[in-house]
Structure 1
Amino acid sequence: MNRFSDGSSTLPASTSYMGPLFGLPDSHIGVDPSDDTVKSPWLMKERLIPYVEFLQELVQKNILDVDSLDKPYDYTLKKIKSNQISCQMGYANTNFYNADVEQYGGDYQGVIFDGGSGDLYVAASTPDFVQARMAITKECKNPEAAVRFLDLVSTPEFAVLHRYGLEGDQHTYDENGVLIPNENLNVRSYMLEGHAVGHIFWSGVFGSLALEEWETLRVPFLNEPQILDMGDNHSTGDHKYYYGDNYHLAMATAEEIDVEDQYKPDLYTYMDETIMRLALGQYKVEDIDQYIEKMKELGLEEMVKMYQARHDRFIGK
């Protein structure tokens, strides 16, 4: 696993990339695009318990760096850069790229803009990110066009573009109006022509560049015995793709922002503390129901309901 550090097998304690091995979101709450439902690992006990037991095994074998369990990510990043611990991306790659387009429709990153820092780069964002990061200033030469753009990214039409790509290229419709993904999207030659769907390859808006990166970096890494063993022998999820809390959400209303402000700080802090103590064996797996009940008291179900409403608006439901 530790391809870039000193040869030890110690990994960062952040567990977000391991969740998908067990069919869990990568975060506290996540949108599952396979069935358009919002889920939390803490409301998926049948998957969560094997995941916790797996974390405990990693701790017992000194594979997780428990020193950074309760530290901010900057602390972990410094240890990675100084080769004290390894990069954990293998977990994500093992699962992220196992999903094919037909399983959940792909994810075409449809909004592209530069970073505004002088160094040109390509960024692809969901509607809430676009509206959060872009503003209309007095220097704007065409305010009406800017307003139309910001309105466009929250329409059902854009939701289809963002999730399924371009009609006639990434997908078509049958006579009953059912969306059919292009069967060539997993074919190498088709990818090289620039037809990649975003989440088949990381940031794969430009297919040839994404495929080149995939073939020179990702494939050899994924064929390492330790990575193959991780997916084959430890995964209990029946679908193993990466999904998280920022995908396919409409902009929050004022009321939804209030819900998040009310519940998120205490709820997420308790979630983080609980998974840490479970991993260390300080909390018992047998008592997991009482921890989940505490999370419900802190607003877990209200947060899931709020995220579901935002996702439903995003897909025009």
Structure 2
Amino acid sequence: MSHWNHKGKMTALSVILLGSLTVGCNKSADPPTADANTTPAPAREGPKYPAAMSYWVTLDTEAAFSIKNQGEMGAYKQLEKITGTKVTFEHPPAGAQAAKDQFNLMMATGKLPDVMYYSWKANAPDKAIKDGKILRLNELIDKYAPNLSNMLKEKPDLKKQLTSAEGNIYVFPFLATDDVQYVSHGLFVRKDWLDKLKLPVPTTIDEWENMLIAFRDQDPNGNGKKDEIPYFYRETDYETDSPFLGAYGLLASFYQENGVVKFGPYEPKFKEYLTLMNRWYEAGLIDKDYLTSDTKLRDSKMLNDLIGAQGNWAASGFGAYLQSKKEQDPHSTFSLVGVPFPSLKKGELAVTSGSSKSQWGGAGAAITTSAKNPEEIAAWLDYGYGKEGHMLFNFGVEGESYTMVNGKPQYTDLIMKNPKKLTITQALGLYNTVTYQGPYQNNAEAEKQWHAGDAQQAAMMVWAKEADRSKYLPQNLNAEEQARIASIMADLRTYMFEMINKFIMGQEKLTKFDEYIQTLKKLKIEEAIKIYQTQYDRYLKS
């Protein structure tokens, strides 16, 4: 499923352009609405904000192009002036696995900073509360975080998303506001290649196959060599948004259909998807080296006219390629078009999309039991949901990253036309987080500004379309369920991905698909499905 780690999610996890390109994301621009901003905090006796605090969070990947610590970011330097709080930011090494390893180590040892920003929803928050690692925030938010508290009163559906199976609110979240803002990732194609070969924008699997064959055989880059990679596939595509799986009515993991929970890779139609991918692999329509290709290599090949189509982020992929190519050669005909997730039949919609389907992606700032002043920290974390915090975290510092034009904030040329040739997302990363790190709520107008191009905006609208949002499961497992799912899925996922890759690359024949299904059964996939069914039934009753 699609997952936001980055704005324009992401998280996921992309890399910086030419030093590598990263995730694109969402920000905001009308004067804050009632949805985005709530009543400012009333005056209270005693210190409003902490004098100092420690904050563990992954360093924003776009900002990492230029800074080594989030404390150097414009929004946080300004926030220190406003609140008087000196924040010591602690960052894990780059990469999702390194962050996970450090998170697990801290949780095991109990040596915790005051605040930890992570995907708590997927990491047994109820158990973490019971084990005395993080705090239940319900009462702290009600008493010390009036901005977020008012928002949750106005939006009971949001409060439901943020509340665990055992009734706990456990993070100060990053929040989106509308459908287009949930879109972070999707498929796009070299439009100039389509035009040159007189091909339509593909909407079905058959049209995709015809297009990829043409890219392979008809020399669209015009260099006289058969060096094009028709589709740059990466293993991470499978879980980012499974761009071709949705044509078969399947999702990449657990989902529900007519109230019955299913697991996409355990369904009979999954064989049809694997058959397609194997055929494309054998025919040279997808990158033969997909298991070892990284984002740096991808970006280099894309900008050197070798890749015809790929899945990537809206801002730091799609938008950054267009920006970088234009800077390299203002007369280049290089152009991209966002295309829908393909279906089997013309006119149908696939069940996958680039939309995360939720106002909240699962990550947020938890206050740990190490914090000596949780009330003051709650007030500090709440700042981003108020009017001034909304402007700060969406636009940065007035007079530097934005100015007011006719009563509306506009990004300056420092962001939009950076003199040091930084991409828009890299420049913006110097002022605020571009990878969906709250806590604050973004606003759709800023999103439009920094996904500035018409092609980008059009692509995001296309990626937002899908057949049926209701298939996606709410994630509200209780602590016991989460522990059991984690235990089952550790070995099962390892085996599953090993076999998916073997099937795609032809190292295992698809005649062994039934054997693969039986092995998933032995690895307890049906118990996992039953757990999710119990959770879904409980969610419906609530």
Deviation at 1:53, TM superposition (A): 1.6
Output one character per residue of 1:157-202: Cα deviation in whole Å (capped at 9) or x when no partner: xxxxxxxxxxxxxxxxxxxxxxxxxxxxxxxxxxxxxxxxxxxxxx
Deviation at 1:107, TM superposition (A): 4.0
Output one character per residue of 1:241-295: Cα deviation in whole Å (capped at 9) or x when no partner: 6976xx5111431x32332343222110111011111112222223311110011
Q: How does 1:288-299 map to 2 (within 5 A)?
A: 288-299=513-524
Provide the C-alpha distance between the structure 1 equivalents of 2:254 and 2:447, rounded to a whole number of angstroms.
25
| Counterpart secondary structure, 1:95 | coil
Distance 1:107 1:291, change over 3 A: closer
CA contact (8 A) 1:250 1:313 kept: no
Structure 1 counterpart of 2:243, from 10, 13, 17: 17
Q: How does 1:69-108 map to 2 (within 5 A)?
A: 69=291, 71=292, 75-83=293-301, 87-89=310-312, 94-95=340-341, 107-108=357-358
Structure 1 counterpart of 2:367, from 135, 148, 158: 135
Match status 1:259 vs 2:484: yes
The structure in which a higher percent of residues are helix is 1
**Which structure 1 segments of 5+ residues have no match?**
101-105, 110-123, 147-203, 232-237
Deviation at 1:56, TM superposition (A): 1.5
Q: Which residue of 2 aligns with 1:174?
A: none
Q: What is the TM-score of this pair, normalised by structure 2?
A: 0.33
Provide the C-alpha distance between the structure 2 equivalents of 1:279 and 1:266, rounded to a whole number of angstroms.
20
Distance 1:251 1:59, change over 3 A: same
Deviation at 1:39, TM superposition (A): 2.1
Deviation at 1:57, TM superposition (A): 2.0
Provide the C-alpha distance between the structure 2 equivalents of 1:65 and 1:12, rounded to a whole number of angstroms.
6
Output one character per residue of 1:37-94: Cα deviation in whole Å (capped at 9) or x when no partner: 432123321x21221121012102212223233x5xxx53232233265641499962
Provide the C-alpha distance between the structure 1 equivalents of 2:444 and 2:460, rounded to a whole number of angstroms.
20
| Counterpart secondary structure, 2:270 | helix
| Counterpart secondary structure, 1:68 | coil
CA contact (8 A) 1:94 1:222 kept: no
| Counterpart secondary structure, 2:261 | strand
Provide the C-alpha distance between the structure 2 equivalents of 1:309 and 1:205, rounded to a whole number of angstroms.
34
CA contact (8 A) 2:231 2:310 kept: no
Q: Which residue of 1 aligns with 2:455?
A: 217
Provide the C-alpha distance between the structure 2 equivalents of 1:142 and 1:222, rounded to a whole number of angstroms.
39
Q: Which residue of 2 aligns with 1:57?
A: 279
Distance 1:305 1:217, change over 3 A: farther
| Counterpart secondary structure, 2:284 | coil
Provide the C-alpha distance between the structure 2 equivalents of 1:205 and 1:51, rounded to a whole number of angstroms.
36
Match status 1:31 vs 2:255: yes
Output one character per residue of 1:114-163: Cα deviation in whole Å (capped at 9) or x when no partner: xxxxxxxxxx334xx44xx42253332269999xxxxxxxxxxxxxxxxx
CA contact (8 A) 1:274 1:291 kept: yes
Q: How does 1:138-177 map to 2 (within 5 A)?
A: 138-141=372-375
Provide the C-alpha distance between the structure 1 equivalents of 2:378 and 2:444, rounded to a whole number of angstroms.
33
| Counterpart secondary structure, 2:478 | coil
Deviation at 1:301, TM superposition (A): 1.1
Deviation at 1:205, TM superposition (A): 6.6
CA contact (8 A) 2:229 2:286 kept: no
Provide the C-alpha distance between the structure 2 equivalents of 1:274 and 1:18, rounded to a whole number of angstroms.
18
CA contact (8 A) 1:20 1:92 kept: no
| Counterpart secondary structure, 1:250 | coil
Number of aligned residue pairs: give it: 214
Structure 1: which amino acid aligns with 2:374? C
Distance 1:242 1:20, change over 3 A: farther
Output one character per residue of 1:3-54: Cα deviation in whole Å (capped at 9) or x when no partner: 39976424123233322222211x3x2234x645432123321x21221121
CA contact (8 A) 1:18 1:92 kept: no
Provide the C-alpha distance between the structure 1 equivalents of 2:341 and 2:482, rounded to a whole number of angstroms.
32
Q: What is the TM-score of this pair, normalised by structure 1?
A: 0.52
CA contact (8 A) 2:367 2:374 kept: no
Provide the C-alpha distance between the structure 2 equivalents of 1:20 and 1:241, rounded to a whole number of angstroms.
12
For the pair shown, which has the larger CA radius of gyration, 1 or 2? 2
Q: Which residue of 2 aligns with 1:3?
A: 190
Output one character per residue of 1:199-241: Cα deviation in whole Å (capped at 9) or x when no partner: xxxxx974445567598235655999xx9xxx9xxxxxx9476
Match status 1:286 vs 2:473: no
Provide the C-alpha distance between the structure 2 equivalents of 1:76 and 1:240, rounded to a whole number of angstroms.
32
Q: Which residue of 1 aligns with 2:267?
A: 44
| Counterpart secondary structure, 2:499 | helix
Distance 1:282 1:257, change over 3 A: same
Structure 2: which amino acid aligns with 1:68? Y
Distance 1:220 1:207, change over 3 A: closer
Structure 1: which amino acid aligns with 2:233? P
| Counterpart secondary structure, 2:476 | coil
Q: Which residue of 2 aligns with 1:168?
A: none
Provide the C-alpha distance between the structure 2 equivalents of 1:56 and 1:18, rounded to a whole number of angstroms.
13
| Counterpart secondary structure, 2:454 | helix
Deviation at 1:298, TM superposition (A): 0.9
Distance 1:256 1:21, change over 3 A: same
